[in-house]
Structure 1
Amino acid sequence: MFIDLFFRGLIILIFIAGSGVIGYAVTRLLIYLIPISYFGDLLQWTGSVILTALLLMGSAYFYVYRGFGAQADLTRRGPSAGGKVALTFDDGPSSGYTPAILKILAEKKVYATFFMVGSRVEQYPNIAAQIVEEGHATGNHTYSHITVPNAPPSMLVSQIMRTNFLLLQHTGTYPRYLRPPRGLYDARMRRIARLLGQEIILWSLSSQDWHRRATASGIVRRILNQVTAGDIILFHDSGSLLGGEGGDRSPTIEALGPIIDGLRAQGLEPVSLEELIVGSANAVDRSAG
């Protein structure tokens, strides 16, 4: 009985957090048309665990890609008009991958945004400076890739402020953008961003290059099959699933050129994050460089 009530309660919570006709229909279906007790004790327990996990995974996915409630201070994608997309890179800089990515971007005449981890800016200040020197934008990705909702208030403030200072110190620019690691944010981070004059940027399409089995062909296929105008596309130039260094980003490097070519073949132009969000008035002409 407890498991049954727990499961139903989770469904109701998910429904309350979400909205819309589909959510209502699914909730009613699960609660009234498929009673868990029907499957017997063993299946009841097994089914509860599996379905609870699926619901939690689904709600987490919805949280990162859609969010709950009013979120005028968060940006997940740009406008679909204009046929533009933005490329963003998380977790760097790194000595093994970031320079190679910068070389490809220069060859393709594309500007991107690099959401940098403060501790890696300390480790590779020259690469952080190179990113800005080559015309790319910077973003704050916290000092040590923390899970924001779990961080004590003082730690959260320190993680963001310290990274802002390091980026200003080593690149000469103050990061306009802020991206929470793993896309997990809370109200505190939103307040801090407002106070510091920063905009929280998430993403609408992930390359999933963080996966240990990621391949260049798989990354290319995923992006080109799913991309739409206005997408903010997530890549990584360092890090691993849990945030430490050691992740293999060679598939990302191999995939980047074909992705840019494929986007253009579809009539989509990779532009700076600022140009995508604000509009063509802030466009930067790289053709002369």
Structure 2
Amino acid sequence: MISDSGELQSRENRLGDCEVCAATSAKYTCPKCEVKTCSLACVKIHKSELECDGVRNRVLFKRFNSLTGFDVQSDYRLLEETGRVVESAKKIHYDSNKNVDLYKCKKNASALIFGARRKEIGLKLLPPSFQKHKENTTRYLRKTNEFLWDVKWVFCQANMEIMERKISDLQLLSEAVSKYLAPGSEANSKTETALEPYHNKALYEIEILLPAQGIPGTKFFLMNPKETIATNLKYKNIIEHPTFYVILEERLVDYQIVHIRAKSKSLLECQEDEGSDSDADMPAI
């Protein structure tokens, strides 16, 4: 076996003389510039004179026939580190976008709640993870005190639902629904055919209902087409956006109607319809 002193002597002979002082056999090789040195003092001198930081250049080109096992292992580790850095950067970018989207979502939600309270509407927003909340594009314009609602129209006698975006709540409900009553208003032939039961119907021949949210059973409010959407939604509870059921007038008997009786802390109280549409059933505003 070769002794430790023998190995050191063999290494010194292989490296040659120190390239700094040239007086002693070299013991060390700089990982970066490969200058041979014999001591710490010579290492410091070479770093100072050559402005070398002693850090090996891990991407330095080497010919294939000069590669060693150490070089291959070093390159493999470099690729692993690069992969980790890339994945980390992707995660940071994703989290950053997620935070921005969450901020926008919360900001818009706050605006909707503020606008709903201002207009005395019982608006409930679902958690951000719910699909219905993600798809809701409703906006509240504070300057004009106006909602641009997403509105779902349910045409019961056509067995069809239509989602319409950005409908101003300052618009009359009759104006919003009238386009679906006119033949040729729909570019989609399938939709046009399905809506035939409603074509050429006058406003008095249809009824527009709003689900009575928060009330046990399947009950509805009867809307007034001659009033604005904002007025029709006043004192009503809705989830995310309004859903209006459009039915033929003769089918109204199939639906249980409730009327607002009095404004309360929970926004409204209701009573079931007993066949009376008198003003006594409506809230005092």
TM-score exceeds 0.5: no
The TM tier, using the shorter chain, reads under 0.3
Identify the structure with the greater helix proportion.
1
TM-score by length of 1: 0.26
